[in-house]
Amino acid sequence: MKKKLLPILICLLYFFSCDKKPNKLLNQKEHEELIDSWVENRLASLKKDDGWLNLIGLHWISNSETSMGSADYNDILLPADKFPEKIGTFFWQDSILTFTPKIDGITYNGQMVESPMILYTSGLDEPTKTLSLGSLLWTIIIRGDALGVRIRDLDASAISDFKGIPRFATSLDWRLKGEFTPYEFGKELSITNVLGQTSINLSPGFVSFEKDGKVYQLDALDANNQLYLIFADASSGLETYGGGRYLYIDKPAPKKTEVIIDFNKAYNPPCVFTAYATCPLPPRENILDLYISAGEKYMDK
């Protein structure tokens, strides 16, 4: 069962503001204000309930019965100083995953969960149910053929300890005009994630741009009214994350091909902040022989 990587990242789009003003109409001050606003929204998104800073666990379902709690006998072990010894049990049978509560106070959509609840049935594209107990949230994710329990603590210390992300200085030199060239029938793009799972994603086309007299291109993924770029460059593993960075750009206007590629908005994958993410890695087509000194730098967890 191969699942596309793109849908799990679409939820991030809200903090990527539209940006169609060409460089000749944008001065340094305006550009800095634009990027400052983008950075502010970016940092705020990491701290939200569905952000990446509050993740405290990711457990892959491998048995028919999986218990969760803070006692040592549980399969999914939670911090004993914050959570009850026994919270509940996941049952995986006949392609159906259910959760049975073992304690009062568990809710779903504000309603108490007092009996076994179906969380996933084989054939669903993506589970959507999130259960909670106080500051603890858990939901089911699918990666390839694997089912995982993603766990969040809305009071995680990583949120209050977060001091921001180091960045290159904002520069108009890295806000580039580019061209989008569609593939006639799309292109199958092989993308591997940090778990080693590979999926096939359909690329609608590629963006090309010129820097220092040389032309580069990146295969894009469709992200509604934007294009999503997963790339690595010569800075990867040095000043930036070795697993590459991500960038959203606006699609060209109807019947046009010009796009604006602002590498000042290049940002770190979730794996920079947490060990409990399943980040896609750059396809080989998107590894650039170019040192992109713009956007977010690498930071230790």
Tell me the pLDDT tens digit for each residue of 215-258.
Answer: 999 999 999 999 999 999 999 999 999 999 999 999 999 999 99
In the structure encoding, which two tokens stand for residue 34, read together? 């634009």
Confidence of residue 63 (pLDDT cuts 50, 70, 90): confident
Stronger pLDDT, 123 or 99, i.e. the higher one: 99
| pLDDT exceeds cutoff 60 at 214 | yes
> Class for domain 55-155, per CATH?
mainly beta
Distance CA 279, CA 275 (A): 10
Sequence ranges of the chain with CATH classification 2.60.200.20: 55-155
Confidence of residue 5 (pLDDT cuts 50, 70, 90): very low
| pLDDT exceeds cutoff 60 at 11 | no
As a whole number, the mean pLDDT across the chain is 92
Distance CA 77, CA 71 (A): 7
**6: burial class by Cβ within 10 Å (0-12, 13-18, 19+)?**
middle
Task: Answer for the pair 66, 58: CB distance below 8 angstroms, yes or no.
Answer: no
| pLDDT exceeds cutoff 60 at 13 | no
Distance CA 97, CA 147 (A): 9
| pLDDT exceeds cutoff 60 at 18 | no
In the structure encoding, which two tokens stand for residue 239, read together? 């000043």
Note the pLDDT of residue 301: 64
Note the pLDDT of residue 245: 99
Note the pLDDT of residue 195: 95
**What contacts 222, CB < 8 A, 6 or more positions away?**
6, 202, 203, 204, 228
